[in-house]
Amino acid sequence: MPATREKIVFYLNHDRVEITCEDAFLTLSTWLRVKKAMTGTKVVCSEGDCGACTVILGWMNPVGKLEYRIVDSCIQFLFQLDSCHVITVEALTENGKLHPAQQAMVECFGSQCGFCTPGFVMALADLAEKEQSHTTTSIKDKLAGNLCRCTGYEAIVKAGLALNAAQQVKISERFDRKAMEAEFAKTAGQSLKIETASGQIFFKPADLGEALKLRAAMPQLRLVAGATDLGVQHNKGRSVVTHAMFIAHLGEIGDVQKRGDLLEIGATVNWSEVLAATEADLPELHAILKVFAAEQIRNAATIGGNIINASPIADSLPCLFALDARLVLRSVSGSREVAINGFYSGYKKFDLRADEILAKIILPLPKTNSLFKLYKVSKRRDLDISTVTLAIHLQMAGAKIAGAQLAAGGVAATILRLANTEKLLIGAELSAELFHKAGDMAMSEIQPQSDVRGSADFRKILIRNLFHKFYFETSQAVGAKAG
């Protein structure tokens, strides 16, 4: 059995870094700015909302190659970076020459106070790595996770359009990737443990088997996948992470497979990967995921983290409820499968034992006779938390509704199945009148609270109106089917 390593190894631009101490529990942005005096990476919000801290991160993919994506460094712990390559804004200039993204920002007046600029430049540089030509839409999509308080976005989008990536060698090609990949491949099967003088403990298990053993032996270890929820709680002092087991690298629970009419999604699959995997087979979820946070977050955040974080406004949950997803929970004593519809029993209360890890989500795809729609209502389109969410899944027999699964979020302590409204719909023919009644009944079934995102009454009206919207959007399709 390979020995346990006692140091985190990653590359920061051209330099090899070893971490053996408390620094492992710092966020990447803090470590860069405080310990390395690399202040090009800025911090504004510390909660993944503004993108000022954006870096490009190379991860090892399943075939042993580094793949580069943007992430927010303020919610990445250093311990997540083992076997990674971090590229910061300091590495963009080459031989004294600005990177085309920097040059375009200068020429288009895309910067005023400059605080947000490194984050924008990193996102634009990543865009240039991946696409030769850019449209206003692709630039806006890419920059959804970056906020600017002074310049406004017009000049920055112009910079994106003016960006000529062909002018410079790709960033990812400026580094000795082969050497990094060869080193990381050697350590891939090793476990890693850091125990600090002040009592912090970190484990990176070699495989799922070891992760389950550690989970059983040390239930106090926090499981950390993307850290987009935990990182925010840590930074805000709500729940400081001192005992952690990293799981996002575990290949056994990290892929998406289509088996017949089921999509099986590993718990550590991140949202960018789910976005790609659902485009053809589940376009409704794909569309919702386009407005799930922003790219920096989607590149790190996992589906398992979303389920276990158990927010009643988690964007994935109404879909999983309405499609009757099943969760595979693993422990040293075996595996059990539970229906997501019975998993939650109250606010942040769910049926996961202290020795278990969520391993997989089994998601039945809608059948051809189904009408399936997902809705997310938020104050802004991009990078915003939902006010309410709704999933409507109907199985049709001609114009008649043979089955109905309705799940609403942001209206109670957990996602709520609208049981009475389902009963009303089953057996009825689709009509405007029916969906007016359904909207009214749904209003009577929910118990929303008032908060900054909307009053209880507003939420009730939103849910009712979404039923009207659903009828408006689908009645033509059903008319065609029924005819």
- Residue closer to ligand FAD, measured from CB, 267 or 408: 267
Sign (positive/negative) of CA torsion 258, 263, 266, 269? positive
Helices (H), 163-198: 177-187
Query: How do beta strands 66-72 and 54-60 pair?
Result: antiparallel
Query: How do beta strands 262-266 and 326-331 pair?
Result: unpaired
Distance CA 271, CA 20 (A): 31
**Binding residues vs ligand FES (CB under 6 A):** 43-46, 48-53, 72, 74, 111-117, 148-151
For the segment 117-146, give every residue that binds ligand FAD (CB under 6 A).
none
Contact (CB, 8 A) for 103 and 130: no
Stretch that binds ligand FAD, among 24-32, 154-162, 301-309, 336-344 (CB under 6 A): 301-309
**Applying CB under 6 A, does 319 fall inside the site for ligand FAD?**
no
**Applying CB under 6 A, does 314 fall inside the site for ligand FAD?**
yes
DSSP, collapsed to helix, strand or coil, labels residue 355 as coil
Q: How many CA atoms lie within 13 A of 330 on its CB side?
A: 16
For the segment 230-249, give every residue that binds ligand FAD (CB under 6 A).
230, 232, 247
**Applying CB under 6 A, does 47 fall inside the site for ligand FAD?**
yes
Stretch that binds ligand FAD, among 6-14, 107-115, 219-227, 414-422 (CB under 6 A): 219-227
Q: Which does 50 bind (CB under 5 to 8 A by kind): ligand FES, ligand FAD, none?
A: ligand FES
CB of 241 vs ligand FES, minimal distance in Å: 17
Q: Which does 302 bind (CB under 5 to 8 A by kind): ligand FES, ligand FAD, none?
A: ligand FAD
**Applying CB under 6 A, does 89 fall inside the site for ligand FAD?**
no
- Residue closer to ligand FES, measured from CB, 115 or 175: 115
**Applying CB under 6 A, does 50 fall inside the site for ligand FAD?**
no
Nearest CA among 222, 217, 215 for reference residue 201: 222
**Applying CB under 6 A, does 222 fall inside the site for ligand FAD?**
yes
Near ligand FAD by CB under 6 A: residue from 46, 76, 235, 306:
306
Query: How do beta strands 256-259 and 326-331 pair?
Result: unpaired
- Residue closer to ligand FAD, measured from CB, 156 or 247: 247
Instruction: Give CA 251 to chain center in angstroms.
Output: 18
| Sequence-distant (≥ 6) Cβ neighbours of residue 445 within 8 angstroms | 416, 418, 419, 420, 421
171 CB neighbour count, 10 Å cutoff: 22
- Residue closer to ligand FAD, measured from CB, 163 or 225: 225
Near ligand FAD by CB under 6 A: residue from 29, 49, 125, 371:
49
DSSP notation for 193-244: EEE-TTS-EEEE-SSHHHHHHHHHH-TTSEEESS-TTHHHHHHTTSS---EE
- Residue closer to ligand FAD, measured from CB, 358 or 388: 358
**Applying CB under 6 A, does 297 fall inside the site for ligand FAD?**
yes
Instruction: Give CA 175 to chain center in angstroms.
Output: 28
- Residue closer to ligand FAD, measured from CB, 108 or 294: 294
Distance CA 287, CA 297 (A): 16
**Applying CB under 6 A, does 57 fall inside the site for ligand FAD?**
no
Distance CA 70, CA 146 (A): 11
Nearest CA among 400, 416, 429, 427 for reference residue 459: 416
**Applying CB under 6 A, does 390 fall inside the site for ligand FAD?**
no
- Residue closer to ligand FES, measured from CB, 148 or 363: 148
- Per-residue contact string for residues 422-461; x = within reach of ligand FAD by CB under 6 A: ----------------------------------------
Residue numbers at the binding site for ligand FAD (CB under 6 A): 47-49, 222-230, 232, 247, 267, 292-293, 297, 300-302, 304-306, 308-309, 314-315, 357-358
